[in-house]
Structure 1
């Protein structure tokens, strides 16, 4: 008799544990569904620095914009260095007699025949 009670109580405990796990899984799944619906309704993105902040949902990772591109909201005129041919923004270039240069060294070297 004692063995029957132990076996019935131990099998009942396993069933109870299984039911508890299933209930916990259901609560977790419901929580995820509610969170997903909330995100869809509010349109909020994941916070910056979180695990999924750069994921676009298309299988591609979205790179965060650089600080320089955020500052430059308008287009800039580009000029070509008369010495090396490098293109750079006009505001960063040095000019001499109508020619543009990328550095002081190239300005001193002058126009290079190309």
Structure 2
């Protein structure tokens, strides 16, 4: 009876350890994939919003989030 209890608890501990390793390993892999696939972001000179560089508009090494802000230039808005 004592050997059966020992084997039972060893199986429970081994299963919990395997499950814990599986969960932590898959979370780390997903985080690395997300970071490596992230697009570079730039800040709009007019409003300060961060947008993906692929979607931003550039003039004289300054980035803008929209055509309207590009036309307004890099003057700060009056709020």
Using the size of structure 2 for normalisation, the TM-score is: 0.49
Which structure is higher in RCO with an 8 Å CA cutoff and minimum separation 6?
Answer: 2
Bigger radius of gyration:
1
